[in-house]
Amino acid sequence: MTNAVTNVYLAGIGNSEPEHWQRLWFADDPRGVWVEHSSWDAPVRDAWVKELDETLASITGPKFLIGHSLGSALAIEWAVTATATDVVGALLVALPDPRGENFPSAATGFVEGYGSLSHPTYELPFPTVAIASTNDPYDPEGRAAAAAVGLGASVEHVGTQGHLNLASNLGTWPQGRSILTRYFP
């Protein structure tokens, strides 16, 4: 990504831990912005969408979204109604299946966008690549990755790496960075 683009980081439920790849990327990103939420542990779709929208409105120039887990779902939920035209792309990692049995019960409303679309009728308004692990407990059937394809995203499968979070021991996650630069040089 060029220096003129601001990377906007969208963490999942509970926020990303200091050693999570997403936090490590953010710490090394002088133009990065971390989206904060009023409730990290009991996220409500509409509140999270509003907080993302407010954060994006406060940033001048083009923006690129980097989401993990529920943060990736948030990017899609936001895009359903977004009017902003300066989001130039998104990297969505470990999309969860909001209808799956492991989806956090504390998160509410996250089936209004991609979660309810077994056959999406729209495409994301910006280029998107989704990264999925074949043994992600939050998308064990691959439905979230399939929904991403239906929304116009490219999907990269990275083998059996769990939820691509701190427990996956990814460190700075060079593989994820390589995928990002391949799609968004």
Residue 144: give its domain's CATH number. 3.40.50.1820
- Inside any domain, residue 96: yes
pTM of the complete model beyond 0.75: yes
Residue type, 167: A
Tens-place pLDDT, residues 96-147: 998 889 999 999 988 766 655 555 667 899 999 999 999 999 999 998 888 8
Q: Which domain holds residue 111?
A: 6-183
The structural domain count of the chain equals 1
Measured in whole angstroms, how far is the alpha carbon of residue 133 from the centre of its chain? 14
Q: Which of 4, 124, 9 is nearest to 55 (CA)?
A: 9
Residue 9 parent element (H or E): strand 6-10
Strands 154-157 and 128-132: parallel
- Inside any domain, residue 141: yes
Torsion, Cα 77 117 121 62, to 10 degrees, reads: 20
